[in-house]
A and B are shown apart, each in its own frame.
Chain A
């Protein structure tokens, strides 16, 4: 199988993107009352300068050229800080192709500010507290997701499906593991 994840961005470029993301975030918030918000653009675990530790699940998503939709969605939902936490976190990361397979207009719709909660719920539905490799996941019948809903785990031959999405690659992270999946896992209701 082709390597899905390619590390092609220079660290400084990532830092630049991160700073941009954060300052645009800060603008949306009311900064009148809070010192910590005013200084937020240089703070947050996502912005700790660290080129020695293993990359976080967020770093891995950002550095992947196949996950630009997922990264945009995480930024829109403002979930970056949750993904750089100590975890452990298991992220099922749908590829850009998986997002494209959704009915036309779905992604654009979800990225609208008024749908932030819905988007956030869908994204949390792709996150499990825990860190298990593909082989180990075969022991599970279901996983409890950060959405507060659970997803079934199915084994078909050598393949593992989580919430109907097939794991097509796995990348261990410092604070968890990213399983690349071929489908977006939509909560049932």
Chain B
């Protein structure tokens, strides 16, 4: 036995020798020289981090973490007064969510790079991120939904971003026995319209489907534009021990929704308005302030009221990913408990609908015959297929969770072309534009759930990771591992050239409409209103105006409204006050932000700039004198006076 062991080691050594040359070729392919830019942006969700990370490809360099659903002390997101309303919901202020499926806006089926949409799973919400500022500018809560998973995918012209519920729930929510689920719970598929200029979101309608679990979704495109496809599982409508009870049916469904037909129905007065309560939060770039509005009504649509709008396509084994190829002809069901991939044909689906080739119904919704919509099956492609993206050259790339690999296959012939292992347990995959009519099929990124020994260990919790494969040739080539923020759940990628020129450099000070902005130093001041004190402060290299404040008392609530007077690219300033029960502020040039400080002890307390802004950064500081509550010291403020 020991002889075998040694001889194996020998062969390993000889291969190690070969690795040098091959590894250097991969290094060249991912090397972006200092000062040079990556070719693609990758927006990779942080899963349980609640945020969205921006990476460059092919280098895998982390460029920014955009706070979305979780408070971020670094950027004061959800800590400063301006952004707190962004995290408001019908359940109150929620400092966290589970961010899942970013999708970039499209025009005519192609990425237009205006916005990224992303869903919060836990307390159902959809966020919109503006790709000029790379900031979250809008969050809408989704009522009648729970576990907002089948989201946030856009239609071909970003007419809608959809949000499908994972959990079916009582609609309206009410106190009822859990075991009366079957037939009583509903699954809402929500179509949120996106206004073309500013991208403002508004719930157009909610399609109230049977109480299945809705897992993922993708839009029709090209010939199938006007349809949306949703994968379902738990068509058994079980409510306990789901790992057993929701896997009893050999086939679940992909629900095909003709949203154009429903839109027409709704535009003609169809649907039923029902009471609801959900937050709609908008961040205004000019006021640098978010507002939260509670909406009280939503329009629901019963699928049976719109004949010809909803059909069910039987699809084996609890399909997870539900992916549409760039031509719009093929709809792929990734049955996650299966070894096969199901490829449905849009044309055959239309033919089956026209000829009423039905195989019964579910709660009145026609079920199409499996054989009549099936284009083919990728047989024994791997274990546990999860998600398919496309390269625009006729190939699909599917992740297989259980067999931990990425498999390339031909969409027309359903033949497997290549397979490569992933390290380890790949979830979703991403090709830039891989969910559009025009993919950029140069790289595929796999997002892995487990890394174990892939990096230096950091205790029980080790980083998640993404892996980059070159897919420009017949065979895939693994180029790079890179660590990620949180769980890299899903991603959207886009050529850098589409959005790079639009990236904003500064906010114009003369366009600042913040209610508490201080646009000239002469306006810097401190005002008292009872025990509320408002400090109107400016900052510029390398001082605050004012930097000495007296007359604050224990028990006051002090609002620091701080305006950054810089008008140079990349000169933010920060500010924090000793003992403030909140984060720093990080204020971009031309922007105003506010934090609250409630001094509890008399004394002279300093504040300082927290962003290394300049050569005199360490001089950028000030003092606040805090006197006892019954003190009669007058408010005063100054800069440069003795």
Contact = CB atoms under 8 A, between A and B. Distances in A.
A44 B450 CA distance: 11
B306 interface: no
Interface stretch (A31-39, A64-72, A97-105, A159-167): A31-39
A79 B1 CA distance: 23
Nearest to A117: B380
A167 to B, nearest CB: 17
A85 B19 CA distance: 26
Nearest to A27: B11
Interface in B16-37: 18-19, 22-23, 25-26
Given A36-B420, A82-B403, A139-B244, A19 B337 contact: no
Contacts of B25: 35
Interface in A50-67: 50
A10 B449 CA distance: 30
Interface stretch (A106-114, A140-148, A181-189): A140-148
B8 A45 contact: no
Contacts of B383: 82, 124, 146
Given A45-B450, A148-B340, A38 B15 contact: yes
A26 B1 CA distance: 21
B317 A35 contact: no
A173 to B, nearest CB: 15
Nearest to A30: B475
A36 B340 contact: no
Interface string B316-348: 110000000000000000000111100000000
A38 B22 contact: yes
B508 interface: no
A52 to B, nearest CB: 10
Interface in A109-126: 117, 120-121, 124
A13 interface: yes
A85 to B, nearest CB: 5
Given A121-B380, A124-B383, A34 B22 contact: yes
Contacts of B4: 16-17, 20
Contacts of B420: 34, 36
B394 interface: no
Interface stretch (B106-114, B349-357, B421-429): B421-429
B421 A81 contact: yes
Contacts of B198: none
B421 A44 contact: yes
B11 A23 contact: yes
A147 B339 contact: yes
In this complex, the interface size class of chain B, counting residues with CB under 8 Å from chain A, is 35 or more
B402 A82 contact: yes
A41 B421 CA distance: 12
Contacts of B337: 129, 144
A184 B247 CA distance: 24
Among B8, B247, B479, find the residue whose CB has the most chain A CB atoms closer than 10 A.
B8
Contacts of A23: 8, 11-12, 15
Interface in A154-184: none
B404 A45 contact: yes
A23 B404 CA distance: 19
B202 interface: no
Given A23-B11, A33-B473, A34-B478, A39 B23 contact: yes
Contact of A36 (B8, B401, B421): B421
A43 interface: yes
A144 B15 contact: no
A48 interface: yes
A59 to B, nearest CB: 14
Nearest to B245: A139
Contacts of B18: 31, 38
B244 A43 contact: no
A183 B23 CA distance: 46
Contacts of A13: 1, 5
B402 A35 contact: no
A140 B11 CA distance: 48
A31 to B, nearest CB: 7
A89 B8 CA distance: 30
B81 interface: no
Nearest to B336: A129
B380 A129 contact: no
B243 interface: yes
Nearest to B476: A34
A33 B420 CA distance: 12
A148 B338 contact: yes
B421 A89 contact: no
Given A23-B12, A36-B420, A130-B244, 17 more contacts: A20-B8, A23-B11, A30-B475, A38-B15, A38-B18, A41-B15, A42-B12, A45-B404, A50-B452, A79-B403, A86-B401, A86-B425, A87-B402, A117-B380, A140-B244, A146-B402, A148-B340
12 contacts: A19-B9, A34-B475, A36-B420, A40-B421, A41-B11, A41-B12, A43-B423, A79-B403, A81-B405, A85-B402, A124-B339, A144-B337
8 closest A-B pairs by beta carbon, nearest first, are: A36-B478, A16-B5, A20-B8, A35-B26, A82-B403, A48-B453, A35-B22, A48-B452
Interface of A: 12-13, 16-17, 19-20, 23, 26, 30-31, 33-36, 38-45, 48-50, 79, 81-82, 85-87, 89, 117, 120-121, 124, 129-130, 132, 139-140, 144, 146-148, 150
